[in-house]
Amino acid sequence: MKDRRSLTIIAGILLLIPLVLFYFNRSVVGHIGLCLWVGAVLYGYWIYIRRQQEADKRRLVESVQRTATSTLARYRHDWMNDLQILYGYIQLGKYDKLRGSLDRIKERMAAESHISRLGIQPLVFYLQSFREMNPSVQLEVSIEEGLELGQLLDREEAENWAETVMETIRAYQFAGRSSWGETLQLNMSIYREGGEVVVRFELEGGSGNSELLKANTLKAIRGKRIYAKEEAMQKGVCELRMPLAI
């Protein structure tokens, strides 16, 4: 970023010089030379910006690929652990414990399915990769069965909703701990109620800096068609609502 700013300043100076010389120079040849100078500077700067954009795009794609690969590896690791537990119970003949393990696997599959069906891709990707990107936070997500926000909200509302949810989680990450070494236990529920879509956050084991958490949450919803139920914003609880148009 500093290199880009520096080059922009240099390009501006190189463009300013011929503009000054235009005023003092009266020859046609001199004007042509100055025009070529300006053209060369603009072309060089355009080439640089284009290469920077391509590099930024490449870095973004690589970052997404790394996150996706890490997330898939984590899922594969979890499934291998589950299979090893099931195989161990079968080998030991503890068939009575198989049902409990299978029920836990079923619940986890249902939770992942509910996330994937939300229909807001940035939010889906964020939630599915959250544990890989934020190991110091244990986020438990509960979503109403059959809830597809992509069909209930228009594009702008969906983007605002996803952005607000992510910013609120970051607010908890910043203000929800009593100490930086603490592992955050955060429960999040998304559901419909009375013609509104609701997201409820509940912090386990304390409230952290409740005033800072409230300030950051209100900042996240500023200018959006989302409001906070302030009477619920206490002891680590936050409830955000968006009225549905349908």
CATH number of domain containing 148: 3.30.565.10
Q: Both tokens of residue 52?
A: 């920077």
CA distance 75 to 150: 25
Residue 99: count other Cβ atoms within 10 Å of its Cβ: 10
CA distance 224 to 164: 9
What integer pLDDT is reported at residue 214 of this predicted model? 78
Q: Is residue 10 part of a domain?
A: yes
Same domain for 142 and 201, yes or no, is yes
Same domain for 126 and 234, yes or no, is yes
Q: Is residue 83 part of a domain?
A: no
Same domain for 133 and 14, yes or no, is no
CA distance 244 to 140: 25
Same domain for 61 and 125, yes or no, is no
Whose structure tokens read 């139920």? 229
What integer pLDDT is reported at residue 234 of this predicted model? 67
Domain, as residue range, for 127:
120-246
Same domain for 61 and 143, yes or no, is no
Same domain for 148 and 65, yes or no, is no
What integer pLDDT is reported at residue 71 of this predicted model? 64
Amino acid present at 58? R
Same domain for 63 and 150, yes or no, is no
Same domain for 46 and 140, yes or no, is no
Q: Is residue 79 part of a domain?
A: no
Of the candidates 49, 219, 177, which has an alpha carbon nearest to the alpha carbon of residue 228? Answer: 219
Whose structure tokens read 């958490």? 213
Same domain for 69 and 133, yes or no, is no
Q: Where does a domain end: 13, 46, 73?
A: 73
pLDDT by position in tens, the chain (length 246): 556 677 677 767 776 776 666 666 667 676 677 677 777 777 777 787 788 777 777 776 666 666 666 666 676 777 788 788 888 878 877 777 878 888 888 888 888 888 888 888 888 888 888 877 777 788 888 888 888 888 888 888 888 898 999 888 888 887 755 555 667 788 899 999 888 999 998 887 665 677 777 788 888 888 888 888 766 666 678 888 998 875
> Does pTM top 0.85 for this prediction?
no
Same domain for 155 and 69, yes or no, is no
Q: Both tokens of residue 206?
A: 């304390």
What integer pLDDT is reported at residue 206 of this predicted model? 63
Q: Where does a domain end: 73, 106, 136?
A: 73
Same domain for 61 and 139, yes or no, is no
The count of structural domains within the chain is 2
